[in-house]
C-alpha cells in the first residue's frame, strides 16, 4: 500500500501501490496544467462508514509514498480512464478495495489488507 499525504489532513490516504502509481501520473499532469479536480473514496476498515472527497489544487501540498521501491509497469488505458474521470464534474472515484485509510503500517505489512491490481475509474 502506498500513501498520499494531502495538505494538513488528519490521516494519510492508503492506496494500493499500482493504482497510486497511475493516479500520481494523472494528478501530476492535471496540477502541472493548473487544473483542479476532486478525488473520492469510501472509508476503509477501522473508520466510520462514509466517503471522502478531496479537492486537488496546485496550491495544496501533496506527497506520494510507495511501499515498493520499483515503479510498476503502467497501463495506458487505466491512465486514460482516470484522466477522463478527472475531467468530469464528479472527478475520480476510487474503488473501495484500493483504499485502506484505517489500517496501520503493521496491519498492512502483516497481509491484513486487500491487494487488488485491477483498474479504477469513476463509475466503475
Q: What is the pLDDT of residue 96?
A: 80
Angle between helices 17-32 and 76-86 (to 10 degrees): 50
**Residue 44 resides in a domain:** yes
Q: Angle 100-103-109 (CA atoms, 0-180°, nearest 5)? A: 100
Q: Which residues of 53-68 are buried (b: 16+ CB within 10 A; e: fewer)?
A: ebebeeeeebebebee
Number of H helices, E strands in the chain: 3, 6
pTM (two decimals): 0.77
| pLDDT(106) > 70 | no
Beta bridge partners of 62: 6
**Position with higher pLDDT, 62 vs 105:** 62
Q: What is the pLDDT of residue 26?
A: 98
**Position with higher pLDDT, 124 vs 71:** 71
**Residue 112 resides in a domain:** no
Percentage, residues of the chain above pLDDT 90: 62
| pLDDT(19) > 50 | yes
How many domains, in total, are found in the chain? 1
On average, the pLDDT of the chain sits at 82
Nearest to 124 by CA among 104, 102, 103, 97: 97
Q: What is the pLDDT of residue 36?
A: 98
Nearest to 12 by CA among 20, 22, 2, 21: 2
The parent domain of residue 92 ranges over 2-104
- Distance, CA of 87 to CA of 112 (rounded, Å): 34
Place of cell 486487500: 114
CA atoms within 13 A on the CB side of 32: 6
**Residue 83 resides in a domain:** yes
**Residue 122 resides in a domain:** no
**Residue 118 resides in a domain:** no
Amino acid at each position: 500500500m502506498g500513501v498520499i499525504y494531502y495538505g494538513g489532513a488528519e490521516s494519510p490516504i492508503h492506496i494500493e501501490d499500482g493504482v497510486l502509481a497511475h493516479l500520481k501520473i494523472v494528478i501530476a499532469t492535471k496540477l502541472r496544467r493548473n487544473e483542479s479536480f476532486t478525488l473520492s473514496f469510501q472509508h476503509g476498515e477501522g473508520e466510520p462508514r462514509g466517503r471522502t472527497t478531496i479537492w486537488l489544487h496546485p496550491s495544496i501540498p501533496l506527497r506520494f509514498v510507495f511501499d515498493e521501491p520499483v515503479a510498476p509497469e503502467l497501463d495506458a488505458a487505466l491512465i486514460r480512464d482516470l484522466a477522463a474521470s478527472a475531467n468530469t464534474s464528479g472527478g475520480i472515484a476510487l474503488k473501495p478495495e484500493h483504499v485502506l485509510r484505517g489500517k496501520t503500517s503493521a496491519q498492512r505489512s502483516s497481509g491484513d489488507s486487500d491487494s487488488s491490481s485491477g483498474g479504477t475509474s469513476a463509475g466503475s
